[in-house]
Amino acid sequence: MEKVLMKGNEAIGAAAIKAGCRYFFGYPITPQNEVPEYMAKELPKHGGVFLQAESEVAAINMVYGAAGAGARVMTSSSSPGLALKQEGLTYIAACELPCLVVNVVRGGPGLGGIQPAQSDYYQATRGGGNGDYKLIVLAPASLQELTDMVQEAFDLADYYRNPVMVLADGMIGQMMEPVAFGEIPQWTLPEKNWATTGTDGDRAPNVINSLFLAPEELEALNIRLQAKYQTIKANETRCEIYQLEDAEIVFTAYGTTARIVKNAIKILKAEGIKAGLIRPMTLWPFPEAAYQALPKTVKCILSVEMSCGQMVDDVRLAVESKVPVAFYGRSGGMIPTVDDIVAEAKQLLGR
């Protein structure tokens, strides 16, 4: 498979088109602008539609309409833009509409900055909008993984009738790495016989709706959604386990931070300190089991994030107090350095 050098944001667009996505609704915001720009240029060549919406709110509701109408559709944005999209996302999740939402995360809170961050972990994994719902959240650490995940995201979304989010930090969006558009696993997908395509006079009307005024009906929806989330949890939890054997300290990190941690592990190893890494590739469902199967040699876990400590909450829940869990993070667009991580690990181990 020939490799091409691509910018992350462009790879997102290319992978989506390869996966059959033909509709993109979005609004400009740094650092994800190359996604809509790429789609504006490329989608019409594939018979698709790119539309620059008047706001993130409108864009996500266009996605709702198009997904409800049966199309493969996506939007992308960055952190404050995602906050605006939450209104539509909870409707999309409630109506079980498949779509892809990409968040190229920048630092917050507020308008924040435009440099890379991972401070949208809560926003992504807690639902973000109102009510009990979940997005499937994929966290790529390289552009090849990004490309594969974006392609598979559409199948995951269609298979489970659930919105999927690719959570990438600004670095993933802006950097260039070689990517190959290989064959990804082909899913057997259910027919979209629920979509609003017009009845054609030969079936009962299809309705996309999340209003249930009778509490029994709304609870029934929630029970059904929760059952689906359990299935997703059982089938789609993914993580990378790296050099865990005999580890004294286990790092946990996702996305580009995990790459920095791998460099730190190399340095620690050279100094005789055994360290490993648990890298969640799905943030929801969270790979809890990985944290419950730690080798006996592990003295502590260190969660490294480009945030003030968000994923560490899930790590603590998963570890169930069996091992001390510590946190090291930088925020606001600052990136943890290998030296910082090494020093933090040594301090924790008393070396």
Token digits for 135? Answer: 């997005």
Q: By CB under 8 A, tell whether 243 contacts other proteins.
A: no
Closest CA to 106 of 137, 79, 143: 79
Binding mask 301-340 for other proteins (x = CB under 8 A): ----------------------------------x-xxx-
Residue at token pair 């609003």: 196
Q: Binding to other proteins by residue 227, rule CB under 8 A? A: no
Rounded distance between C-alpha atoms, residue 161 and residue 280, angstroms: 23
Stretch that binds other proteins, among 148-156, 199-207, 303-311, 323-331 (CB under 8 A): 199-207
184 binds other proteins (CB under 8 A): no
Least distance to other proteins, CB of residue 234, Å: 31
The answer to the question of residue 164 lying near other proteins (CB under 8 A) is: no
Task: Specify the residue, 91 or 229, whose C-beta has the smaller distance to other proteins.
Answer: 91
Smallest gap from Cβ 318 to other proteins, in A, equals: 25
Question: CA 350, CA 51: separation in Å to the nearest integer?
Answer: 56
What distance in Å separates the CA atoms of residue 183 and residue 82, rounded to the nearest whole number? 30
Q: Residues in contact with other proteins, total (CB under 8 A)?
A: 63
| Strands laid side by side in the 239-242 sheet | 239-242, 275-280, 249-252, 300-305, 325-329
Please give the order of strands across the beta sheet that includes 23-26.
49-52, 23-26, 73-77, 99-105, 163-169, 136-138, 282-284
Where along the sequence are the contacts to other proteins (CB under 8 A)?
3, 5, 23, 25, 30-31, 49, 51, 53-55, 57-59, 61-71, 73, 87-88, 91, 114-115, 170-171, 174-178, 196-202, 205-211, 256, 259-263, 266, 335, 337-339
